Amino acid sequence: MTAPLASPQELDALEGRIDQWLTAAASANGAIAAVERGEPDQRRWYVRVCGEEKDVWTIWFTLGQRTLHYETYLVPAPEENQARFYEHLLRRNRSLTGLKLEIGPEDAVFLSGATPVAQVSAEVLDGIVGSMYAATELIFRPAMRIGYASKFRG
């Protein structure tokens, strides 16, 4: 089922609420290191996050007419152990809620999701950031240890 189109006025209002939430979240949440906006004609935000397993990473939020899309670059394409690497990701993918692992440009692995515009709220935004943080912390290091095993030996 396709989400309904939001009007320009609805998108303007939601854009303002997202700006407000991100400003407040950056002040209150030590894991959010910075928030930047895309070009003036874009409804896009870049949220820099400080993690433990993956030191720094960015969530890209893009507001469209139907959905708020969010994604982060998780890991590069593996140099070795490809079968084990992708098996690990497929097994992890199965337990994700509201997120999915996918292969993107240059065969890198991305973590992404989308929420209908009508459902975006402060609670939903908080859940997106929290879920992406938890998934990145859980998946990143094991994936790197499999796909780059020879670099971790020693």
Q: Residue 1 pLDDT > 70, yes or no?
A: no
Give the pLDDT confidence score for residue 82 in this predicted structure.
Answer: 96
Closest CA to 139 of 110, 113, 103: 110
Domains of the chain: 8-152 (3.30.1460.10)
Mean pLDDT in residue range 19-35: 96
Q: Residue 4 pLDDT > 90, yes or no?
A: no
For the purposes of burial, counting CB atoms within 10 Å of the CB of 20, is it exposed (0-12), middle (13-18) or buried (19 or more)? exposed
pLDDT tens, position by position, 69-124: 999 999 999 999 999 999 999 999 999 999 999 999 999 999 999 999 999 999 99
Q: What is the pTM of this model?
A: 0.93
Reported as a pLDDT band with limits 50, 70 and 90, residue 154 is low
pLDDT tens, position by position, 119-147: 999 999 999 999 999 999 999 999 999 99
